[in-house]
Amino acid sequence: MPRLCELQQAFAKAIVEGKSHAAAETMAEDGRSLRSLALYRRLIRNNFVQVLTITYPVLHRLVGPRYFDVLARGYLKRYPSMSGDLFSYGRHLSVMLFELQVPPLLVELARLEWVCHEVHHAADPPPLSQGRLQAIASADPAQVTFRLQAASRLLSFSFPVHRVWLALQPEAPADEVVELPLPEQETGVVVTRGDGKIQVTPLARTDYLLLEAMSCGADAASVERMAIESEPEFDFARFLATVLSLRIITGFSVTETL
Amino acid sequence: MSIHDSAPIPAQAGIGLRSHHFREILDAPPPVAWMETHPENYFGAGGAPLHILERIRSRYPLSFHGVGLSLGSTDPIDRAHLCKLNVLIDRFEPAFVSEHLSWSSVGGHFLNELLPLPYSEESLDHVCARIDQVQTILKRPLLIENITRYLTWRDSTIPEGTFMAEAARRTGCGILLDLNNAYVNAVNFHLDPIEFLEMIPAEAVQEIHLAGFDRFGRMLIDTHGQPVYPEVWGLYQWAIHHFGPRPTLIEWDTNLPPLSVLVEQATQADAILGGCHASAL
């Protein structure tokens, strides 16, 4: 094995596992090898903590920097970075929090923040032309299916997490008290991107169920039937207009009749 | 196909583009000649960062300064990373694409830090082969930047300046000379920064970086979180007279000040560049 590869492996081992002996042997005998390794260990750890802090700003604000630091260090041990760019780093934080059995609110908040991160960088939706919309209007609803855009994601929580998320935004008043209803209350939200800002919008139960069905490929006729079964007075046209205006839906498909 | 004018970056001062300053830049574009950014921050599929970069690119020449390629790693080159970089290059047509002469990954695991290579014949052969590979895939010359290091490898047998000069000679790549890094290394390891700079061939130097450092005990750390120090300004004056005027970037990554502070630092660099232009007449 070439020496360069051995040297890089020894260094990484010293940083990740704290086993400095082999790495120190590859370094100049200037009396500072262990201090140098400790410095790199600190720089590397701080970089990753910083990345997680940027991706999970609300969780960071909620638990405070000291506890967040503990979580971030734990994450780094469990989930080493696998890429030169750090877009995907932090993806499994909610899984780790679940496994650590921290309060469920923190798990769900982490899940929401990761989705916000993904939506922020998701592909831009293609424009939905007027002509295309008119073509759909004349189609058989049983043959129309919807496509939700990449920058719009549905999530369901055991807590009204979006209220905590909103209350801990940088522009929110520092002393706002968020009262969470008990027992737990299931809440559906849609995360969207408007004017470059992430929006987390709570959904009425029927709206959530319909969007979920649409995202799973249910046709328009089935979705409308679900709506009426859930709420006999449901205004399906209003619902469709709303999801179009929010650009949650970016496309349709019409199955051709054979 | 890009709509941008891919004019070269002039030998004037630019600033590092950070999301913290997006709003300020869009509201009142600052009087700087160009901007530089980390392409990895725009590896997402869409969204505001790319739209904002598009708007900024329509006003300023741009340079891409990579941090994630792990050029000196013994792992296979990350082709997915290069593919994303190529997409961005096609879209934004940066005048320069640079990377650090460092490594950050081994065995598929990334430490995401700019780690020093031993300056040895083995490393030189290895990194030259990697630079060739990257330049072939990107279909353009790369600039390599000297990094700050906090250790010395026992295997280092070649002076850093000679190592960089030889890499540039063998591969045809350019050099991005970071004078703050040169100064920090010189202080930390009791070296003469001029000795390092004199080993660098002037024709290879395409860009210069200036930044600030912090002190931790007896060590200087390259934090990019302070104004350029007087000693580094002094080194810059020497470098500009030695190499000639070069596009110069004010880098600031942590402890970010208002945009006006970066612009002031760029103005100071322009004054030195202007002095050199004037004395050459």
Give the pLDDT confidence of B8-33 residue by residue, as tens digits. 899 999 999 999 999 999 999 999 99
Average pLDDT over residues B211-236: 95
Q: Residue B107 and residue A9: Cβ atoms within 8 Å? A: yes
Joined together, the tokens standing for residue B167 give: 């890499």
pLDDT at B262 over 70: yes
Which has more confidence, A255 or B4?
A255
pLDDT digits (tens, 9 = 90+) for A184-208: 667 899 999 887 789 999 999 999 9
**Per-residue pLDDT band at A55 (split at 50, 70, 90):** very high
pLDDT at B281 over 70: no
Long-range contacts (CB closer than 8 Å, 24 or more residues apart) made by B21-29: B21/B256, B21/B259, B21/B262, B22/B52, B24/B258, B24/B259, B25/B56, B25/B259, B26/B52, B26/B55, B26/B56, B29/B59, B29/B60
User: So what's the pLDDT on residue A258?
Assistant: 46
pLDDT digits (tens, 9 = 90+) for B197-215: 999 999 999 999 999 999 9
User: So what's the pLDDT on residue A134?
Assistant: 77
User: So what's the pLDDT on residue B1?
Assistant: 38
Average pLDDT over residues B151-165: 96
**Per-residue pLDDT band at A138 (split at 50, 70, 90):** confident
User: Given the structure tokens 């860009």, which residue do they identify?
Assistant: B207
Q: Is residue A66 part of a domain?
A: yes
A209 with A230: CB under 8 angstroms?
yes
CA angle B78, B81, B85 (to 5 degrees): 140
Q: Is residue A96 part of a domain?
A: yes
Whole-model pTM?
A: 0.93
Residue among B46, B84, B151 minimizing CB distance to A122: B46
Which helix (H) or strand (E) covers residue B195, if one does?
helix B193-198
**Per-residue pLDDT band at A148 (split at 50, 70, 90):** confident
Residue among B44, B111, B150 minimizing CB distance to A87: B44
pLDDT digits (tens, 9 = 90+) for B107-118: 999 999 999 999
User: Given the structure tokens 């969007």, which residue do they identify?
Assistant: A211
A202 with A189: CB under 8 angstroms?
yes
Closest to A15 (Cα-Cα) out of A71, A72, A80:
A80
Q: Is residue A114 part of a domain?
A: no
Average pLDDT over residues B231-253: 97
What's the mean per-residue pLDDT of chain B?
A: 95
Within the 48-67 window of chain B, which residues sit less than 8 Å (CB to CB) from chain A?
Answer: 48-49, 51-52, 67
Average pLDDT over residues A22-35: 84
What's the mean per-residue pLDDT of chain A?
A: 89
CA angle A89, A92, A96 (to 5 degrees): 130
pLDDT at B279 over 70: no
Based on the domain organization, do A95 and A134 belong to the same domain? Answer: no
Q: Is residue A121 part of a domain?
A: no
pLDDT digits (tens, 9 = 90+) for A110-120: 999 999 999 99
In chain B, how many H helices and how many E strands? 9, 12
A251 with A190: CB under 8 angstroms?
no
User: So what's the pLDDT on residue B187?
Assistant: 97
User: So what's the pLDDT on residue A185?
Assistant: 67
User: So what's the pLDDT on residue B20?
Assistant: 94
Interface test mutation site (partner A, options B41, B113, B119, B148, max chain A beta carbons within 10 A)? B113
User: So what's the pLDDT on residue B98?
Assistant: 98
User: Cis ω on the peptide bond leading into residue B39 (within 30° of 0)?
Assistant: no
pLDDT digits (tens, 9 = 90+) for B39-88: 999 999 999 999 999 999 999 999 999 999 999 999 999 999 999 999 99
pLDDT digits (tens, 9 = 90+) for A80-105: 999 999 999 999 999 999 999 999 99
0.85 surpassed by complex ipTM: yes
pLDDT at B105 over 90: yes
Q: Residue A84 and residue B113: Cβ atoms within 8 Å? A: no
Q: Is residue A194 part of a domain?
A: yes
B82 with B43: CB under 8 angstroms?
no
**Per-residue pLDDT band at B95 (split at 50, 70, 90):** very high
User: Into how many domains does chain A fold?
Assistant: 2
Based on the domain organization, do A164 and A203 belong to the same domain? Answer: yes
**Distances in whole angstroms, Cα of residue A93 to Cα of each of A50, A238, B70:** 14, 38, 25
Which of A52, A86, A102 is the C-terminal boundary of a domain? A102
Q: Residue A150 and residue B155: Cβ atoms within 8 Å? A: no
**Per-residue pLDDT band at B3 (split at 50, 70, 90):** very low
Cα of first residue to Cα of last residue in chain A, in angstroms, is 63
CA distance to partner chain B, nearest, from residue A184 (Å): 34
Based on the domain organization, do A244 and A149 belong to the same domain? Answer: yes
Which residues of chain A does B48 touch, with a Cβ-Cβ cutoff of 8 Å? 120, 193, 196
CA distance to partner chain B, nearest, from residue A7 (Å): 9
Domain encompassing residue A14: 3-102
State percent of chain A over pLDDT 70: 93
User: So what's the pLDDT on residue A24?
Assistant: 86
Separation CA B99–CA A69 (nearest Å): 30
Q: What is the per-residue DSSP string for A43-64?
A: HHHHHHHHHHHHH-HHHHHHH-
Which of A82, A102, A122 is the C-terminal boundary of a domain? A102
CA distance to partner chain B, nearest, from residue A229 (Å): 37
User: So what's the pLDDT on residue A21?
Assistant: 85
Q: What is the CA radius of gyration of chain B?
A: 18
pLDDT digits (tens, 9 = 90+) for A150-197: 899 999 998 889 988 998 988 877 666 667 665 566 789 999 988 778
Q: Residue B113 and residue A40: Cβ atoms within 8 Å? A: yes
Domain boundaries, chain B: 13-280
Q: Is residue A113 part of a domain?
A: no
Residue among B45, B46, B151 minimizing CB distance to A27: B151
User: So what's the pLDDT on residue A125?
Assistant: 82
pLDDT digits (tens, 9 = 90+) for A201-228: 999 999 999 999 999 999 999 999 999 9
What fold, for B13-280? TIM Barrel (3.20.20)
Average pLDDT over residues B236-256: 97
User: Given the structure tokens 């700079």, which residue do they identify?
Assistant: B197
Average pLDDT over residues B180-205: 98
User: So what's the pLDDT on residue A1?
Assistant: 43
pLDDT at A136 over 80: no
Residue among B74, B150, B153 minimizing CB distance to A39: B150
User: So what's the pLDDT on residue A2?
Assistant: 55
Closest to B116 (Cα-Cα) out of B176, B76, B165, B72:
B72
